[in-house]
Structure 1
Amino acid sequence: MYRPTERQMLLPDDFFLPFGGKLNKENRWVKLAQMIPWWKVEEHYGERFKSWTKGQQAYSVRVALGALIIQERLGLSDRETVCQITENPYLQYFIGLPRFQEEPPFHPSLMTHFRKRLGPDVLSQVNEWIVMEQAERDDDADDRDDAGPGHPGVNAASKPRTKAQTTANQGKLLLDATCAPADISYPTDLSLLNEAREKLEKMIDVLHAVRERGKRKPRTYREKARRAYLAVAKQRRVSPRTLRKAIGKQLRFVARDLRIIGKLKEEVGLGALSARQYRQLLVIQELYRQQEEMYRRKTRRIEDRIVSISQPHVRPIVRGKVRANVEFGAKVAISVVNGYARLERLDWDSFHEGNTLQAAVEAYRERYGHYPEAVLADRAYRSRENLRYCKEHGIRLSGPPLGRPSKTARAEQARIERQDAAERNEIEGKFGEGKRLYGLGLIRARLRATSETVIALQLLVMNLERRLRLLLYLVLTWLQQALTSPALANS
């Protein structure tokens, strides 16, 4: 049966609000706000300002960090993030507003400044506080469980104690690396040179406009260059010889435009160019040098290769995956302990992930007061240096030991390898969670600093989500115990 309900329009004043002017304490945003040590973040954030009394008053760290967390958690744009905060009282409470307001709390353009101000070091420190606070709560829950029944909590006996409570190795450290691709089109040498040529032609137009009247405009052959590019770009299959010939043509067009700009620079200077065009000119000069050297040497590899004019910091990262053998973005090495992820290293140049093992293990010892019992990682981490390091500190590195195992030890070793592989799925799941839910699979920030901030922020949001799920689990567990235990039910 269907009953019509849209015959009379419901006015906004007639809409019923159930909370009666008060927020629900069990709301997820209220719980998340209580998990973040805002006062610690403010002290750490305030060190970035030269003066606390001079200059224009900046927005509080709760507004800046809260807005960024909302954006990454919900996957919104800058403008949509401000709209959601304006319409939702729980989001306004999360960023620290004292009361609900109908006007936007800040302009969407400030989101970029928030990302610049809150760098990856600040976010990594906040992430560390949140993870270590949860580890201390797990230890308290263990103590309550050891004291006897009647306390809500989970058995975390396998979790490492904090701050040097024991000298024995405890816990497991999971290590792996991935690529956080940047939001750029797939680069080819021909398309990069064509884009560089078009940008140079616009610069020539700007510089020619400030010359004296009556002077002839330099000839750039832009229409001829465009036709030469499209004649090859539109083909489905291009032979290597045809492609090399097309790249040579575009290189000569770009070289001609650079010479023209050099002459105009001596005549009128480069003051007429915008700041963006001047940066692009510097990038194009280096791009031309790289492309010309690769063309002359007949190779496809060169150090610090530029694959994007707008984002020259992006580098190709060879991953050897099925979908894409090469990805373009930052290489990220993370560690996972008890389900919480930490950023161990972030670099735009490719690096060997095995070199991060010793630093990650020492950081684990600094946090928990002891070395891990085992380090679960793939074969890239099993270098002789890492094996020797782990042996010196009594750490088991996942994988088969050196030498030929005995027949009796083969079965046990196979069982341990299967168990390690199953436990290592957790860090692979973290990569999948970050790339599918929180945007780690496509970093839309344009600048290098803001991209690094977004990557660190996504790990922080993932850890906050885990703490929120764990809190819900503890509440449900306590309610189940209260319903089944007579002592708790009477109390």
Structure 2
Amino acid sequence: MKPKKQERSGCDDLFRMRLEQMLDQRHALYRLSGKIDWTVVEDHFGALYSEEGRPGIPIRLMVGLHYLKHTFNESDETVVARWVENPYWQHLCGEEYFRHEMPINPSQMTRFRERIGKEGCEFMLGLTVVAGINTKTVSRASVAIVNVDTTVQDKAIAFPTDARLYHKARGALVRLAKQRGIDLRQSYERVSKRALMMNGRYAHARQMRRAKREQKRLRTCLGRVIRDIERKVVLQQTEAGQEHAELKRLLEIAKRIHAQQRHDKGKVYSVHAPEVECIAKGKAHKPYEFGVKVGVVSTSKESFVVGMQALPGNPYDGHTLEASLQQVKRLTGIAPKEVYVDRGYRGHGLAEPVKVWIAGAKRGVTVAIRKKLKRRNAVEPVIGHMKNDGRPGRNFLKGAQGDAMNALLCGAGHNLRKILRRLALLCASFRVSLNQLLASKISNLQLTD
């Protein structure tokens, strides 16, 4: 059922004080709560709920928690726990009085993301762009001149080695087979665990021939478990007609891990996240990153994120430029006129009216264009700040859908941090000017006396 709106009561509570009366109304978070159009949020996401059943959790509460999570780099569990301690967070989420209990179970955050999907997260990113324009953190004219770049959103997986993948795939198959009531001939638990340990020791000692022997033992154990499960599953299906869809999916992943070679394409790098890709961005300290490529579009003047999306399949950077600019137009209603990119975007294929300037260009470069080409480098610290202060550095959400949602929400978190900094600076400058005015008034009174 649709959630009930958080309506304000007309009368005061005798034993409780309203949050509006407790808080400093000049605080940045307090002022931010009035810059977001929560009515539009409730109308947009309210259509995703059914008309019958138990009333859902207030939409403003769920959206506010996601904004706070990605603004302050919290997990689902910690953002709910900190919400109880912070009255400014509660006011942002629409609470009238201070609450001393957790508002939701952290698992509700996952269910809400599944409900709104990628489109809902993109809508939330668009709301931060509107809030940025309303607070004058970014101007509408700045959206026409943007910097575009790509980065890698790392997945929460261990560094993939063949030995570890064999061990993890075998363990996952054995656990799932036991849950389905399949009696295996042998689980190889102790054998595989010892082989993985010895493989790491031999590799550390540079005894590579012995390390490969242990790796081969792990691969053999995985192959035996795969064949044993396949025989038992076929036997169960012929006798009782049972379906094992999840087990079949895991068997396919395990077979790919068992069969893949070093130089194959489309390899599996994680058992629980088979969508992970190996991406080389040319970094000396980190030759390979495991996750998904993400396109970032920021304004050239304010470095405000006006577009961010996951790009599965590790596409060529130049082929992603059109999709990134279409997202900017979708979110802001303004089509960029000047785009500044690095040399990885050569061969993008975009025609007029969009003018794409590639770093290192010489022909037709004026003084103003040269300044903007130098300003293109500002997108790099934007990505760095998002990875350090936000959550693109390690994505914990599941599947390709989780990759897309995390990228969009991280862009929203970056924008909210800039808006909060803008509101805090405005308040500080107002205080300074007010103090100066009072000091001048006092000095004038003293002179007249």
TM, length-normalised to structure 2: 0.80
Q: Which amino acid aligns with 2:391?
A: G
Q: What is the distance in 1 between the residues matched to 2:76 and 2:153?
A: 20
Determine the structure 2 residue equivalent to 1:453.
Answer: 405
1:380 Cα deviation from its structure 2 partner? 0.9
Do the aligned partners of residues 284 and 323 (structure 1) sit closer, same or farther apart at CA in structure 2, a change above 3 Å counting?
farther
Q: Is the 8 A contact 1:175 1:377 kept in 2?
A: yes
How far apart, CA to CA, are the structure 2 residues paired with 1:314 and 1:261?
Answer: 26
**What CA deviation, in whole Å up to 9, does each residue of 1:279-310 have, x standing for no partner?**
3652343332354142xxxx42222x221112
Q: CA, structure 1 residues 105+293, in 2 after alignment: closer, same or farther (shift >3 Å)? A: closer
1:292-343 deviations in Å (ceiling 9; x for gaps): 142xxxx42222x221112222222222212211111121101012422133
One-letter code of the match for 1:228? A
CA contact (8 A) 2:118 2:404 kept: yes
**Residue type of the alignment partner of 2:264:** R
2:359 is matched with 399
Q: What amino acid is aligned across from residue 172 of structure 1 in structure 2?
A: I
SS at match of 1:375: strand
CA distance in 1: counterparts of 2:187 and 2:427, whole angstroms: 71
Match of 1:167 in 2: none
Partner of 2:307: 343
Matched residue count = 417
Matches for 1:196-215 after TM superposition, within 5 Å: 196-206=169-179
Kept in 2, the 8 Å contact 1:335–1:360? The answer is yes
Match for 2:418: what amino acid? R
Aligned residue for 1:385, secondary structure, equals: coil
Within 5 Å, give how 1:303-318 maps onto structure 2: 303=266, 305-318=267-280
Asked if residue 81 in structure 1 is aligned to residue 45 in structure 2, the reply is no
1:379 to 343, 356, 381: 343
Equivalent of 1:441 in 393, 417, 429: 393
Q: 2:393, 2:386 → 1: CA distance?
A: 7
Match of 1:471 among 415, 420, 423: 423
Write the distance in 2 (CA, Å) between the matches of 1:301 and 1:90.
52
**2:284 is aligned with 1:300:** no
Residue aligning to 1:261: 229
Look up the match of 1:147.
none
> Per the alignment, in what secondary structure is the counterpart of residue 394 of structure 2?
coil
Q: How much has 1:476 moved relative to structure 2?
A: 4.7
Instruction: Work out whether 1:329 is the aligned partner of 2:291.
Output: yes
For residues 429-456 of structure 1, what are the alpha-carbon distances to aligned partners after superposition, in whole Å with 9 as ceiling and x for unaligned? 1111111111221123344434432332
3-state SS, counterpart of residue 252 of structure 1 = helix
Whichever residue aligns with residue 113 of structure 1, its letter is R
Work out the CA distance in 2 between the residues paired with 1:316 and 1:287. 18
Distance 1:363 1:204 in 2: 44
Aligned-partner Cα distance in 1 for 2:229–2:111: 33
**Contact persistence 1:180–1:443 (CA under 8 A):** yes
Offset of 1:88 from its aligned partner?
2.6
Match of 2:319 among 343, 355, 372: 355
Q: Show the counterpart of 1:186.
A: 159
CA contact (8 A) 1:180 1:440 kept: yes
**Alpha-carbon distance in 2 for matches of 1:29, 1:365:** 28
Residues 447 and 126 (structure 1 numbering): CA distance in 2 closer, same or farther, change over 3 Å?
Answer: same
Q: Is the 8 A contact 1:375 1:395 kept in 2?
A: yes
Task: Give 1:350 shift.
Answer: 0.9
Residue 42 of structure 1, CA deviation: 1.3
Q: Which has the larger radius of gyration?
A: 1
Match of 1:37 in 2: 37
CA shift, 1:202, in A, is: 3.4
Which runs of 5 or more residues in structure 2 are unaligned? 1-16, 442-449
Pick which of 123-132 and 176-185 moved more.
Answer: 123-132
Aligned CA distance change for structure 1 residues 119 and 233 (closer, same or farther; 3 Å): same
With over 3 angstroms needed to count, the CA separation of the structure-2 counterparts of 1:175 and 1:280, relative to structure 1, is farther
Q: What SS class does the counterpart of residue 153 from structure 2 fall into? A: strand
Moved more, 63-72 or 446-455: 446-455
What is the rounded CA distance, in whole Å, between the counterparts of 1:239 and 1:394 in structure 2?
A: 57
**What residue identity is the alignment partner of 2:263?**
R
Counterparts in 2 of 1:288 and 1:247: CA distance versus 1, 3 Å: farther
Output the amino acid matched with 1:97.
E
Once residues 30 and 424 of structure 1 are traced to their aligned partners in structure 2, the CA distance between those partners, rounded to angstroms, is 34
Higher deviation after alignment, 341-350 or 34-43? 341-350
- Cα 1:230–1:465, aligned 2, differ >3 Å: closer, same or farther? closer
**Aligned-partner residue type, residue 353 of structure 1:** D
Aligned to 1:109: 107
Q: 1:369 to 1:327 in 2, by over 3 A?
A: closer
Say if 1:375 and 1:37 are closer, same or farther in 2 by CA, change over 3 A. Answer: same
Q: Is this contact kept in 2: 1:118–1:453, CA < 8 A?
A: no
Identity of aligned residues (%): 21
CA contact (8 A) 1:311 1:446 kept: yes
What CA distance in whole angstroms lies between the structure 1 residues aligned with 2:348 and 2:293?
23
Is the 1:283–1:312 contact (alpha carbons within 8 Å) kept by the matching residues of 2? no
- Residues 54 and 269 (structure 1), Cα distance of their counterparts in 2 relative to 1, 3 Å cut: same
Residue number in structure 1 paired with 2:447:
none
Q: CA contact under 8 A between 1:232 and 1:238: conserved in structure 2?
A: no
- Asked whether the equivalents of residues 297 and 308 of structure 2 are also in contact (C-alpha less than 8 Å), the reply is yes
Q: d(CA) in 2 for partners of 1:256 and 1:320?
A: 39
Closer, same or farther: CA 421–108 of 1 in aligned 2, 3 Å = same
Check the 8 A contact 2:273/2:398 in 1, yes or no: yes
Secondary structure of the equivalent of 2:318? Answer: helix
* Letter of the 1:357 counterpart: L
How far 1:360 sits from its partner (Å)? Answer: 3.6
Counterpart position of 1:320: 282
Report the equivalent of 2:198. 231
Deviation at 1:97, TM superposition (A): 2.0
The aligned residue for residue 3 of structure 2 is: none
Q: Distance in 1 between matches of 2:37 and 2:99?
A: 25
Kindly tell me: are residues 112 and 464 of structure 1, through their superposed partners in 2, closer, same or farther at Cα, counting changes over 3 Å?
Answer: same
Paired residue secondary structure (1:35): coil
Secondary structure of 1:319's match? Answer: coil
